[in-house]
């Protein structure tokens, strides 16, 4: 396949994903609203574009990895957006986490231009992006996925086609339901043990390899104890994802009592100060209720 790829969005995830594409031998053209990030990638060997339109004009495969639904709509459909420069039979791979309904609308617009879309959100956090071990859940046409598989394989380890456009985003929201529940369980378990006077470091070692273990517990419980709130995934982004979950659940009349609770716990954090913290800062919400720090 063509070894030229466009990439829009150089945040916590996007920047290491671009580096892995270049390591795999792709020539990558990048765009980012914060120009300094694009310039940093240009120093590492990427080509810098002045707009999403320019990225699309130069590449048959364009990856987007931005924060929220309006951001994707802007870079794809807005002024100087992808849709203004894209060539027939090109593919937009959206690796953001956004609304499934919005994804279907964007895919329809691109089909009208004779182009294709894959919604391919990821799980694995910053470290997964750095290590190229992301799990990628893909919605769209299977033949388009096979055409673009080498691009995705440069960034991820597990690539699963889950259905038509919108299903990648739906499965990612399912992923976030599980993440939120496991994270809240880890927070409550640590608080329970702390109140009983347990050595938390030893307790984590005893539990993490057993039936109660989870990625959230193994990786984030030690950070909570150490008061390390550096983001692998940010509170503000989790809040956005849970909002999307609750909107989609409401549209289908799906009760999600546990997820709703965790959403409210995140909401109780002062997003002005905690929005940039890692999701393990959820422990602070329970600490306020309990009047006790676990660390």
CA distance 55 to 32: 11
Please say whether the dihedral angle defined by the alpha carbons of residues 284, 239, 6 and 51, taken in this order, is positive or negative: negative
CA distance 127 to 167: 25
Angle at 48 between CA 109 and CA 63, to 5 degrees: 35
Residue 253: left (phi > 0), alpha (psi -120 to 50), or beta?
left
- Does residue 172 have an active-site annotation? yes
The single residue of 53, 172, 234, 284 carrying the catalytic annotation is 172
For the four alpha carbons of 197, 200, 202 and 207, in that order, the dihedral sign comes to: positive
Strand duo 116-119 + 156-163: pairing = unpaired
SS3 116: strand
Residue 78 CA to its chain's centroid (Å): 22
**DSSP for 141-152, written as a single string:** -HHHHHHHHHHH
pLDDT for 1 equals 67
Domains and CATH numbers, the chain: 4-164 (3.40.50.720), 170-290 (1.10.1040.10)
> Percent of the chain having pLDDT more than 70?
100
Torsion, CA 266, CA 271, CA 274, CA 275, rounded to 10: 90
**For the chain, which residues score pLDDT lower than 70?**
1
- The set of residues, in sequence order, having a beta carbon less than 8 Å from that of 78 and lying 6+ positions away, is none
| Tokens (6 digits) for 200 | 């938390």
What pLDDT shows up at residue 270? 77
Q: Cβ contacts of residue 270 below 8 Å, gap of 6+?
A: none
């Amino acid at each position: 396949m063509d070894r030229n790829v466009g990439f829009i969005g150089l945040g916590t995830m996007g920047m290491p994903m671009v580096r892995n594409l270049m390591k795999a031998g792709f020539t990558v053209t990048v765009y980012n609203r914060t120009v300094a990030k694009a310039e940093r990638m240009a120093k590492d060997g990427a080509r810098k574009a002045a707009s999403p339109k320019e990225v699309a004009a130069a590449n048959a495969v364009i990856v987007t990895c931005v924060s929220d639904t309006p951001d994707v709509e802007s870079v794809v459909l807005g002024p100087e957006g992808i849709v203004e420069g894209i060539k027939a039979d090109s593919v937009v791979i959206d690796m953001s986490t956004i609304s499934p309904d919005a994804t279907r609308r964007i895919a329809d617009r691109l089909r009208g231009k004779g182009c294709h879309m894959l919604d391919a959100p990821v799980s694995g956090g910053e470290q997964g992006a750095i290590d190229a071990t992301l799990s990628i859940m893909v919605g769209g046409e299977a033949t388009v996925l096979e055409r673009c598989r080498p691009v995705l394989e440069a960034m991820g380890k597990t690539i699963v086609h889950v259905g038509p456009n919108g299903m990648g985003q739906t499965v990612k929201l399912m992923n976030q339901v599980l993440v939120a529940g496991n994270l809240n369980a880890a927070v409550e378990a640590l608080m329970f043990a702390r109140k009983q006077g347990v050595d938390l470091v030893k307790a984590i070692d005893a539990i993490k390899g057993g039936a109660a273990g989870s990625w959230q517990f193994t990786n984030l419980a030690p950070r909570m104890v150490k008061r390390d709130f550096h983001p692998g995934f940010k509170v503000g982004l989790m809040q956005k994802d849970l909002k999307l979950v609750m909107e989609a659940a409401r549209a289908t009349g799906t009760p999600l009592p546990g997820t709703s609770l965790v959403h409210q716990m995140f909401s109780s954090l002062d997003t002005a100060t905690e929005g940039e913290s890692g999701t393990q800062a959820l422990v602070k919400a329970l600490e306020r209720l309990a009047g006790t720090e676990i660390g």
